Amino acid sequence: MFIPISPITTFTQVLSSQGSTHLRLFGGSNAWLYASGRAALLAGLRLLPRGGPCRIWIPAYLCRSLLPPIEACGFKALLYDITDQLQPQFEAITPEAGDAVLVVHYFGIAQGMEPVRAFCKARGLFLIEDCAHALPDPSSSIHVGSYGDLAFFSLRKQLPVPDGGVLMVNSSVIGQPSSDHQLLTATPVALRAILTMVAHRIAFQCGWNILPLKDRLRPVVGSAEPPDPLNDDHGPSSMTRHLLSCLDWESLIQKKKENYRSLLAILAGIPGVDLPIASPPEGSVPQVFPIWVSDPASVSQRLRARGIDAFSWPGTELLPNIDLTLYRGTATWHRRNLCLPIHQNLAPRHIEWMARCVQETIGRHDGCQANPVTNRDL
């Protein structure tokens, strides 16, 4: 059995004819496509007016890959903490007019943005929504990405595409980015991602656990992220543009939410598993299912040996040189978080099998008894 963390491209999607516009879900006229989420953030930061110290307040619970675009624009990053429900904690920060505040919709869980927007408006701050894990939900009245002066998305985190990012500009006081990106058939990063997607598709259909091989190759092939967003002055690959135009957005979003609810119902009450986000707020499109366990590294290793692509975010990519004793919420999530797949390709049998594997793994880790799971249970 193999259950990847990311959604899988179907051959039907690859071969289908073009459908609706690829930016329909993001509002269209105020959205621009880029090679990656980081490239979209870089373009957005360059649009912000400068009038004093260039400072941006970011959560301590963040991946270090966001630092290059921030530093490239001359911003000084200052930190704030989050709550156990991933909400920003602004009580201890001292922003000044003209500063920017970046708020993250972690794992596709929509944050309550009205209080954040009011906080920023009262102090003359620019609000940036980090929607790298998120998608707007067209069935909801709350759309992530529509509250900030700027918002950016990383498409491959939620969708079966090899690359791509989106920048949304929602403020009239901010200019518009250039749209004359060089169009490429596929970058080296996109080609590698496409090959990975093909391998995932075959392994998923055949039930082959390729995670041990991927883990051994990771130090050699590296990350799927472009190494330098400053060089991403082009749009996404033509494959991404094609796939975006023919995806059934409403169906895949509803399936993600259904899988989240199904996994929640099965895991609730299992000893050793805490559910920090038991009820995702309105407007959420879950990317993964976050759980808290006492030893996520060990649990992840055992689940990956079973073919479940579980991982801790951001893992070793947490921001450098952070004193976690100053950021209690960040420390808790960093110490306990484990992410499970819930994407739209998973059927009920995958969700049930994964939940039983989690129960067995946690039971063995904590010295409890659990019923063994085999492929004959599928």
Helix, strand, coil in percent for the chain, rounding step 5? 40, 15, 45
Residue-wise pLDDT for 68-100, tens only, equals 999 999 999 999 999 999 999 999 999 999 999
Residues 6+ apart with CB under 8 A from 118: none
Whole-number pLDDT of residue 54: 86
- Please give the CATH number for the structural domain made up of 249-367: 3.90.1150.10
Whole-number pLDDT of residue 235: 81
Nearest CA-CA partner of 140 in 287, 291, 303, 25: 25
**48 touches 126 (CB < 8 A):** yes
Q: pLDDT under 70 in the chain at which residues? A: 10-22, 28, 51-53, 179-186, 220-234, 364-378
**308 touches 357 (CB < 8 A):** yes
Whole-number pLDDT of residue 19: 53
**135 touches 107 (CB < 8 A):** no
Q: How many CB atoms lie within 10 A of CB 208?
A: 14
Residue-wise pLDDT for 322-355, tens only, equals 999 999 999 999 999 999 999 999 999 999 999 9
Report phi then psi at 162, rounded to 5: -80, -20
Q: How far apart are CA 76 and CA 14, in angstroms?
A: 42
DSSP string, 234-275: B---HHHHHHHHH--HHHHHHHHHHHHHHHHHHHTT-TT-B-
Q: How far apart are CA 320 and CA 63, in angstroms?
A: 9
Q: How far apart are CA 206 and CA 208, in angstroms?
A: 6
Q: What is the CA radius of gyration of the chain?
A: 20
Whole-number pLDDT of residue 29: 77
Q: Encoding tokens for residue 312?
A: 């801790």
The answer to whether the pTM exceeds 0.75 is yes
